[in-house]
Structure formats: C-alpha cells, structure tokens
Amino acid sequence: MNGVLLNFDGVKNVVQETDYELVKNDVYRAHDMLINKNGAGSNMLGWMELPENRDEEELARIISCAEKIRKQADVFIVVGIGGSYLGARAIIELFTDPLYNLKKTEERKGPQILYAGNNMSPKYIRSLIEYIEDKEVVVNVISKSGKTLEPAITFRMLKIFMEEKYGVGGAAERIYVTTDKEKGVLKELADKNYYETFIVPDDIGGRYSVLTPVGLLPIAVAGIDIEELLDGAMFASHLYNENDLKNNDCYKYAAIRNILYNKGKTVEIMSSFESHFHYFIEWYKQLFGESEGKDLKGILPYGMDYTTDLHSMGQYVQEGKRNLFETMIKIGLDRSFIKLPEAKEDIDGLNYLAGKDIDYINKQALEGTYKAHIEGGVPVVLITITDLTPYNVGQLIYFFEKACAISGYILGVNPFDQPGVEAYKQNMMALLEKEE
C-alpha cells in the first residue's frame, strides 16, 4: 500500500500547468535514460533493481551476522563516511528510541551504536577509544574504495585496540568489513585477517548504497526488519516506474524541483518536525548535493529540524532572500501517544492545551509553518508518511533515489559521479606528503 503521499498544492502559486508542459519531454527523456541505461553514469544503476533482485543468500548472512553481533557486543561501531554511513544512521535513528544509547542493556536489547571514521577530530577519536576500553566491542568498517583516509585512520586505531584487547584471532571474530570485491587495501586487510566480509556492488555508488550490505548490516544490528525495508523499496520501484508526469509523483517531484530552480529557487530545504529525522535529512543532503552539484549547476540541498530551527533559521525562511523552496516531511500516525497533563495551578497558562496529544500540538505547528512559508513566498511540497514503518521508509528511500536520478538528468548532469570530491583530497595528500 502507498505509504508516501505527495501534496503539491503548496507550489501552485509558482508552478503553472504550462511549466509542466515545458519540462515534460525532459522527464520522459530522463526516464528513457534510466530504463535503457543510455545516459551519463549508466554503469551505476545497480540501485534500481536492488530491491527486486535481492540476493537471498547474502540477506540471510547479514541477518545471521547481525544476530551474532547483537549477542557479542556492548558497543557496535560503524566506521564509514558519506555514503558509507549516512543511510544506515538515517534509518537506525528513525526506528530506535531517541535515547537508545543511554538506556540500560536490558531495555535496549541490542548494543549501543556509535559512529566513527566520519571525521578526523582527535578529540572524538580519543574519547571513543577511552569509552570502549572496558566494553565488548564489534566494528563494522565500511569503505567502497577501501582507502578513504577518515575511516582508514579510525580503523587502524580500532584494529590495534581490538588486537590488544582480544588477540589477533579474537579481533577477527569481531571485525566485519564491507568493501569492494577486489580493490583497495581494506579488502587486502580483510583477506589477510579472515574478517567476515560483505561486498559493495560495482554498479552502486556510495550515496545510493543504503539498501546494500553497506546499510543493511548496521540496520539489522539495530534490530530493524531489513526485508520489510526492501519490500517497501520494491513497491516503490513499481509505483514510480510509469513514464507519466501526471500520475508518477516521483517524476512530478523531480520536475517541480527543476521548474522551481529555473525560476530562481536554487535552495531546497528538507524539513521535518521529528528530531529523529535529522540524519535522514543528512542522507538526503548528500544524495542530492553530490548528484546535482556539478558543472556549475545544482540546487543546494539544505536541512531544517523543526520546530528547533524555526527559532534560529525561521526568520530567514519567512523573510530572507526568496531563492528557497521547501520539501516538508510529515508523519501521519504518531505512536507515542503522550498527552499534556492538566496542572492544578495554571501558572504557565498551558491548561488550554491540557489533555491534548503532543503530536496534535506538533502537527498544528506544522500546519502553521506550512501556511506561513507558502504565504511568505516559499513553495512547499508536503510529503506525508502515513505510518513510520520500515516498509514505508523503504518506499521513501527509493522515491528519493529515483527522483534524484531523474532530477539530475533533467538538469543535464551525471547524477552518479562526484569528481569534485577529489579536489580537497589531492591537496590534503600533498600536504601530508603521501608518496605515490
């Protein structure tokens, strides 16, 4: 069942029927490039068939490793950067308790989940190594290239820590590697030390890899149903495959982004009223930023956590430069069921809300913001997830991946490469005096 509902009413002030006519052929051409694999980056389309052509044997191995890790570990560390960790973190934070890591082991029923290798902050690395000293630790190091400096440095520190703590053989029982099938030093290390290894398919780039072992192993360790996630993505792969701008919400969203961009709306804000959506928004930022920001073009993807950011960035959105549009995410059914109690003395003046669900109050904030932003000249696409389930989130992930591919092709860029990421690396390596 469709659990991701798109509402485009909030762009009507800016996007007219004639605009759709102008972009229609570009959308159909983009569809053709994906289906017939004849566009730029067509060797990187493995994500499209992933939910349908799933490797059952690999899935079973992921699930069994995840069960083993849940028993082995007090702390599970996901080492990776960019596409090699954002998808996993996005989904884990959507489905685990917001205070998951702070809860007692019996309450959590799984290991604490920490992330590393996504920066080179010495303070963070020292703190992590000190924290895990007396804990049972399992590491999943994820790097497609197997040579990215941030995870490589962190992994070297953790490998030495693990070998000192458990011995070389014991460490090998607790290190899981996700990398290329043959390239890179990480693969070499994994083979030499007999680490359990999962493969990142050649035809799937980092930011499209959340439904490969890159994302699925950590997500399964968090106790989330990865098969349901893939089922939702498979549903989306059928739902969003019609080459029809009117009926295909995914293509309509991609078209609207480009229409707005051509009307000077060069910044897209992805917003949500749920703090546990923060990392989903980070995942979206990478997906679209890395896919479209090239050849001196591209919508700048930005993120806002409401209502928090309404008190810091709300002023800008309401009255700043009018180069913004917004994609607002709403959760239909909230299962927290927590009401504001009545106070004996109404000193804080909140008794008028007593008995109301906090979700109801939060949703009024959403409705109010939605209306205010449209009236302020910020077109808004509203995406409602009817219920926050792995199935619906699987659908949402595929929706954004496909929308990004279509949108990138409409824009006239290759949505599957990232040549610009190399520039800082080359300078850094030269400064670090790395020998070739």
Which residues contact ligand PA5 (rule: CB under 6 A)? 81-84, 143-145, 148, 151, 205-207, 290, 418
Minimum distance, C-beta of residue 230 to ligand PA5, in the bound complex (Å): 20
| Nearer Cβ to ligand PA5 (217/366) | 217
Which burial class, exposed, middle or buried, applies to 107 when counting CB atoms under 10 A from its CB (0-12, 13-18, 19+)? exposed
| Contact status, residue 40 vs residue 416, Cβ threshold 8 Å | yes
> What's the rounded Cα separation, in Å, for the pair 401 and 398?
5
Cis before 197 (ω within 30): no
What minimum distance in Å lies between the beta carbon of 260 and ligand PA5?
Answer: 25
Of the residues 12, 238, 246, 425, only one is catalytic, namely 425
Q: Is 311 a catalytic residue?
A: yes
Between CA 142 and CA 180 the distance in angstroms is: 10
Of 211 and 366, which CB lies nearer to ligand PA5 in the complex structure?
211
Residue closer to ligand PA5 by CB (options 148, 389) is: 148
| H or E segment and range at residue 380 | strand 380-387
Query: Of the residues 104, 192, 311, 344, which is catalytic?
Result: 311
* 410, 258 contact by CB (below 8 A): yes
Helix (H/G/I), strand (E/B), else coil: 79: strand
Query: CA dihedral defined by 203, 207, 208, 210, rounded to 10 degrees?
Result: 120
Rounded Cα distance between 411 and 145, Å, is 28
Structure tokens at 327: 């994609």
Angle at 160 between CA 154 and CA 166, to 5 degrees: 125
Return the number of the residue (327 or 418) whose C-beta is nearest ligand PA5.
Answer: 418
Residues 6+ apart with CB under 8 A from 102: none
Distance of CA 128 to the CA centre of its chain: 23
- How near is the Cβ of 90 to ligand PA5 at its closest, in Å? 13
What lies within 8 Å, CB to CB, of 128 at 6+ separation is: 77, 114, 116
β-pair partners for 342: none
- Beta carbon of residue 88, minimum distance to ligand PA5 (angstroms, whole number): 12
Would you call 290 a catalytic residue per the annotation? yes
Q: How far is the CB of 80 from ligand PA5 (least distance, A)?
A: 6
Whose CA is closest to 213, among 80, 398, 114, 395? Answer: 80
Q: Which is nearer to ligand PA5, 82 or 293 (CB)?
A: 82
Query: Angle at which helices 226-239 and 390-411 pack, to 10 degrees?
Result: 40
Cβ 219 to ligand PA5, closest distance in Å? 16
Q: How far is the CB of 224 from ligand PA5 (least distance, A)?
A: 21
Catalytic residue among 196, 282, 290, 292: 290
Catalytic residues, which ones? Answer: 290, 311, 425
